[in-house]
Structures are given as structure tokens and as C-alpha cells.
Structure 1
Amino acid sequence: MALWTLFGLRQGSATTRWPAPGGDDGQADVLGMPRYHPERCGDGCSACADACPTGAIVADAAGGLEVDYSRCIACQLCVEACPDGAMTASGDWAFGVRRREDLRWAESGDPPASPAPTAGYRRSLHIRHVDAGSCNGCESELQALNNPIYNLHRLGIFFTPSPRFADLLLVTGPVTNAMIEPLKAAYEAMPEPRWVMATGTCAVSGALTGGGYAAQQGLGDILPVDVWLPGCPPNPAAIIEALLMFLDRMPQRVRGGQYGE
């Protein structure tokens, strides 16, 4: 018997039970999106907005702040710059939503719920991934989905090399101009019903690189998007949770830019 086989048998299963109760999602002590506490804001203070490199925080005409997590890369610069604790570090990582509007902070935090785009869909899910100009950060996290810890296949979710066998088109990157037509061709090759997931802040809004001479501001103006998942990059657990939310097997945690446990 090979030594690696013996070692594996002695170690036992490495796959987490998560998302079943009692499982480890692997994200303990990992920083997520900063939490916004508007009641702590000093009058006329825009230190966090001035520090934000992607325009996720913008000072409005009334002297308040507009916070848009669809542009957030979780760099924590706003947390470091804020003198009043209005932006605080958190472990909020599961930011997958069905409507992009849910990523914009709202006072109520509870806009109308969106119906699952896959209502009644009970088959295994096959995904075609297209890199539309990513830095490969998101790709590193996608690769981790099939490692022994997360083992995506156990959830009935698979990656396929051909769009002709795919149910979901998962797109990373801000969509460079050179990738617009190949991306549309991949989408058109998919059978109906077909869905699209923007994965990573670049695909959601363009982030730092979007809107320049060579790239779009994310996927929204090119294809109809059913799931939005910001993050730079979103971690493997966030990707899995967004996929299960898309399949209506887990609840959406974020509404009106506010995170619920």
C-alpha cells in the first residue's frame, strides 16, 4: 500500500460537514466586509469616503454617506481611516444576493424579498466558468471548491468545460473589451433555462479596473445577472453559500446592505 494511501486512511475524511449544522465553514477570524454604523458618524466627516479606493463609500449632498458593498473590496482602509468607529471590521463574508440593490446600504435593511430565480429547480447544478479579465484571485478561490475540505461535488454542484452542458454561467473579472463577444457566445451556447452569476467585486461593479479604456464596469450591462457576489476575492464558503442561495437551499443573509446572521 502506498504511504499516501495509508496516511489518508489514518487521517480520515477531511471534508467539512458545513453547511450542515456543526460544520466548520473555514472562515473563523477571516475579515469580511466592514460594517457601517451611521449613528456613530461625526457631522460632515468623510474620512472613510476619502480613503475608499473604489468609490464604495461616497459622501452625499446632505453630509451623510452612501455605502455600496457591490464596489467593496474589503481592503479595511475605511476602518483604519474612520475616527468615530462608524466603519468597523467584521467577519461578514456571505454577501451573495439576488438583486444588486440589496448590496446598497438602506436605513430599513429590509427591502422586499426577491423570489428564487430557480424556483422548482431540483437537479444537480452544472457551472461554466468564464474568466473575463480577472487577476486570478477569484480563480484561486474557485479551485479550492474542489479540494477535500469543501468538496463541492457532495452538494450536487459541478463545473463543466462546455457551456452546452451548463445551467449557470459564473463570470469573474470586470469584463475586458476583448472578452465581451466570447462571453456572449458562451451564454448563447447554454441551453434554456440558463442563469448568470457575477463573482467577485470586479464582475459585480468593475472595482478598481472597471470603466477604463480596456474594461467594462462589471457584468450588469452585458448579460442578465441572477446572483451578485462581491468580494476581492470571495472566499470558497461565500461562493458555496451564494450557489446554495441561488438554488433556494440557503437563505440570503444581506438585505439593504445589512448583514443578518
Structure 2
Amino acid sequence: MSLWTWFGLTNGNVSTEWPLKGDAHGQQGVLGMPRYDPAKCQDACDACAQACVTHAITFAPGSGAQVRAEVDWGRCIVCQRCTEVCPTGAFSPSAEWAVGVTGRDDLVWAEAPASGAASVAAGGTGRAPRPFRRSLHIRHVDAGSCNGCESELQALNNPFYNLHRLGIFFTASPRFADVLLVTGPVTQAMRGPLLATYEAMPDPKWVIATGTCAVSGGVTGGNYASGNGLDGVLPVDVYLPGCPPNPAAIMHALLLILGRTEQRIRGGRLER
């Protein structure tokens, strides 16, 4: 008997039952997207913007003499530097990792979050999730990533997450794919192959921008060799920031496509 067979027999089924039931998503105690409370901002303080390497936090003149931070979680790499340098707690740590959205504008902090229907129309394709009754097949394309997202994608098929139990599979051929899952900022070298893959997929087809690079370009976006993510290249159905997004967050994004879960962030505000 092999060592791994013995290990399996003695330990039993190690796969989580989440999201079908329970909350064993494997991310307990892990820091997620920071929270932002503009009421705690200190006048003439821009420590957060100075620390933000991707310009997810910027400043623009507000009403009167006030200057308020403009926050775009779609550019955030979840490095936590803003929470470390903020002197007032306006940016604070959170454990919220399920930040996939169907509309790009929902990743931008707003005073009054848009309603569900309005937010989908603002920045997303506006399509309702397809009611898949059988399996869902994914074609992954690395459009210039650092492979951080790929390491999380690999974890989806490990014994704990076991993505197959949900009827979701990766496929090598775009002709059998329902979803195009893209990582990376879309480099010049990968733009052509990415478009060719999308065109080879049968309709209806869906696109997930996975990781901050695919959402907005990330740290290296906009240089001589890289684009600024998928916007303007392909129609995006789900935006999932993170550097990288963890396996549970990727599963949440896939379940958004399936219509089997709810979006948890609107108008840049994290659900409490």
C-alpha cells in the first residue's frame, strides 16, 4: 500500500463542505480588503496615498476646503500599507475576501452605493447569470501574470477545495469552455492569443478578470509592454481584485457566474 493511500484511508475525506454548507472556507484569520471610513480622515493627511504603490488611493478637491480620498479597490493589491500608516484608523484591516463584483464601479468607493441593478449596468456587461444546470468549464489564460494567481488557481483542485465536487472543471480547449478566466495585465505579447482564445469559445461565454492585474493593470500595468487589464480588451462579467485573490475568493467569483451566491461589495463598501 502506498503512503498516500494509507494517508487517505486514515484521515478520511478532508474536503470542505463550503459553500454548500458551513463556513470552512479556509480563510479564517486571513487579512482581506481594507475598510475605509472617510469620517475618520484627518485634514491635510495623505499618508495613505503616499504609501499606495498602485494609486488605489488618490486625493481630489472636495467641498469647501476639505480634501477626501478617492478609493478604487480594483487597483488594490491588499498589501495593508494604508492600514499601517493611517494615523486615525480611516483605513483599517478586515477579513473580507469575497470582493468579486459584476460591475467595475462597485469597486470604487462612493458616498451612496448604487442599487444592485444600477451597479451591474455601470461598468459590467449587465448580463444576468446563466442558469447552468450541469457542469461549468473554465479556460484559464495567463496574460502576463507573476504566477501568484496561478498558485491560488492550482489550490482549487487540491483535496480541501476539490472544485470538481461543485461541477466546475478546467479545460485545455477554449472550444469546450463556458468561462474565460484571465490573469495578468494583458501584455502586448499575450493580447493576440487572448483574443483568439475568446473568439474560439462558443456562445454564451463569460469572462472573469482574476486578480488586480487583470482588473486594472496592477503594479506593472501601463508600461511599454503591459496593458491596464481587461477593460477595453474583452467584455468582463466579473471583476475579482486581489494580489492574488485566494482560492475561496475565486470560487465566490465562479459562483457569481452560476448565480449561486450574492455580491458582497457595492459602491466600494464592504458588507459587514
By how many angstroms is 1:91 displaced?
Answer: 0.7
2:224 to 213, 228, 236: 213
What's the CA shift for 1:101? 0.5
1:64 aligns with 2:68: yes
Unaligned segments of structure 1, at least 5 residues = none
Once the two structures are TM-superposed, the CA of residue 80 in structure 1 deviates from its matched residue by: 1.1
1:19 aligned onto 2:19: yes
| SS of residue matched to 1:92 | coil
Q: What letter matches 1:123 in structure 2?
A: R
Alpha-carbon distance, 1:245 to partner: 1.4
Q: Which residue of 1 aligns with 2:167?
A: 156
What amino acid maps onto 2:102 in structure 1? Answer: R
**CA apart distance, 1:38:** 0.7
What secondary structure does 1:221 align onto?
A: coil
User: 2:123 is matched with which residue?
Assistant: none
Alignment check: 8 A CA contact 1:117 1:226 kept: no
CA distance in 1, matches of 2:127, 2:254: 11
Runs of at least 5 residues in structure 2 that lack an aligned partner in the other structure: 121-125
Deviation at 1:109, TM superposition (A): 2.8
Residue in 2 aligned with 1:104?
Answer: 108
Counting only pairs closer than 5 Å after superposition, residues 182-197 of structure 1 correspond to structure 2 as 182-197=193-208
Distance in structure 1 (CA, Å) of the matches to 2:233 and 2:40? 39
AA of the residue aligned to 2:244: P
Aligned equivalents of 2:115, 2:72: Cα separation in 1: 15
For residues 1-261 of structure 1, the aligned pairs below 5 Å read: 1-62=1-62, 63-113=67-117, 114=120, 117-261=128-272
Residues 127 and 237, structure 2, Cα contact 8 Å, conserved in 1: no
CA distance in 1, matches of 2:230, 2:85: 30
Which whole-Å CA distance do the structure 2 matches of 1:123 and 1:98 have between them? 22
When residues 3 and 217 of structure 1 are mapped into structure 2, their CA distance, relative to the original with a 3 A threshold, is: closer
Structure 2 distance, partners of 1:188, 1:42, is: 50
CA deviations over 1:185-226 (Å, ceiling 9, x no partner): 000000011111100000000011100000000011101111
Is contact 2:131–2:259 with CA below 8 Å preserved after alignment? no
Equivalent-residue separation in structure 1 for 2:169 and 2:185 (angstroms): 24
Q: Which amino acid aligns with 1:176?
A: T
Please say which of residues 121-130 and 68-77 is displaced more in the overlay: 121-130
**In 2: Cα distance, 1:118 partner to 1:169 partner:** 15
Assess if the C-alpha contact under 8 Å between 2:129 and 2:256 holds in 1: no
CA distance in 2, matches of 1:152, 1:232: 21
CA distance in 2, matches of 1:23, 1:41: 34
Residues in 2 aligned to 1:208 and 1:111: alpha-carbon distance in whole angstroms: 31
232-241 vs 119-128, which deviates more? 119-128
Equivalents in 1 of 2:103, 2:153: separation in Å? 22
Q: Provide the TM-score with structure 1 as the length reference.
A: 0.97
20 and 112 in structure 1: CA distance in 2 versus 1, 3 angstrom threshold: closer
CA distance in 2 between counterparts of 1:100 and 1:216 reads 17
Which contiguous aligned blocks of 4+ residues in structure 1 show a shift greater than 6 angstroms?
A: none
Aligned partners of 1:215, 1:71: CA distance in 2, in Å? Answer: 15
- How many residues were matched structurally? 261
Per the TM alignment, residue 25 of structure 1 is displaced from its structure 2 partner at its CA by 0.4
Offset at residue 43 of structure 1 (A): 1.6
Once the two structures are superposed, what CA deviation does each residue of 1:88-124 show, in whole Å capped at 9, x if it has no partner? 0111111100001110011123433336632433231
